[in-house]
Structure 1
Amino acid sequence: MTIDEIIGYIAALGGVLTVRPGPGDGSPEIAWGDTFFYYAPDGEVPARTQPFATIVTKDYPGDERSRLDRPGTFRVNIAVGAEIFQAWTGHSPRETNTNSDDPSAADTVIAHPVYATAGWLAVVDPGPGTAQAVREMLRTAHDRARSRSRRH
């Protein structure tokens, strides 16, 4: 899967606001080049909420083990919630020890190296081994975000 394929898939889920920070838009420079997805049918970033998925193209402070600085490497991060997280990892998000996963492994579903305890999974360079799973997890994360939005 390419970044553009993932962005297109998420956009087609409906009600999605895609934010791509860059120079001159007031966003922090560290976020430039990355992509953030919110359920926001009104086109406004929702107050007091996190994106339901992100695509990052570089290592963030504290996340250097992911080695996203390799040419062409990116990671899709997905807020799947506790149930899906446990189905993939065999344990609850609260029991996560991210030191046991290789956060740089390509085409592998892993507990997010920083946000696992919040129920996030991640895939570096999704390919044939994870493409269908990534689509399913993105759909789940979108559905969860939509449900949260309707409750508020």
Structure 2
Amino acid sequence: MTIDDIIDFVEGLDDVLTLRPVPGDGSPEISWGDTFFYYSPDGVVPTTTQPFATIVTKNYPSDEDSRLDRAGAFRVNIHAGREAFIVALGHAPREQGSADVDAGAPDTVIAHPVYGSGAWLAVVNPGTRTSQLTRELLRTAYAVARSRYERKPDAVRRHI
């Protein structure tokens, strides 16, 4: 899967707002070139929730284990929730997984190197082994974000 494949797939879901920060748009420089996906029926960036998935193209401070400084490396990060996390990895988000997991291994679903305890999963350069699972996890993350949005009272939703 390429970055464009992932973006096209996620944008094919209803009511997805995609942010792609660039120089001059007021976003922090560190985010330039990355992609952020929100469930947002009104097309406005939610102020009280995180994206349900992201694509990062570089190392962030305290998040270098995936070695995204390699040419062509990127990582899709997916907040699919506790149940999907357990199905994908065989353990709960706050439980210790395999100590010898290589966070930079391509085409491998792992607990996010920084946010894994919050039920975030990650895949560096999804390929033939993980492309179908990556799509399934993105659908799940989208459904979780949509459900979370729909549970909010109308008055709260209007101010997000």
TM-score normalised over the length of structure 1: 0.96
CA-CA distance at 1:43 after TM superposition = 0.6
String of CA shifts for 1:31-75, please: whole Å, max 9, x gaps.
000000000011101121000000000001111121001011100
- Could you tell me how far apart the structure 2 residues matched to 1:109 and 1:144 are? 19
Cα root mean square deviation, aligned:
1.1
- Could you tell me how far apart the structure 2 residues matched to 1:146 and 1:83 are? 16
Deviation >3 Å, runs of 4+:
96-100
Q: Report whether the alignment pairs 1:93 with 2:104.
A: no
CA-CA distance at 1:96 after TM superposition = 3.6
TM-score normalised over the length of structure 2: 0.92
Which residue number corresponds to residue 4 of structure 1? 4
Identify the range of structure 1 (99-108 vs 75-84) with the bigger mean alpha-carbon deviation: 99-108
CA-CA distance at 1:99 after TM superposition = 5.1
Paired AA for residue 42 in structure 1? D
| Unmatched tracts of structure 1, length 5 or more | none
* Cα pair distance change 1:130/1:29, threshold 3 Å: same
| Unmatched tracts of structure 2, length 5 or more | 153-160
Q: Secondary structure at the match of 1:93?
A: coil
Paired AA for residue 26 in structure 2? G
- Could you tell me how far apart the structure 2 residues matched to 1:138 and 1:77 are? 9
The structure with the greater share of residues assigned to helix is 1
Q: Secondary structure at the match of 1:110?
A: strand
- 1:36–1:51 Cα contact (<8 Å) kept: yes
Structure showing greater radius of gyration is 2
Paired AA for residue 73 in structure 2? T
Percent identical pairs in the alignment equals 64
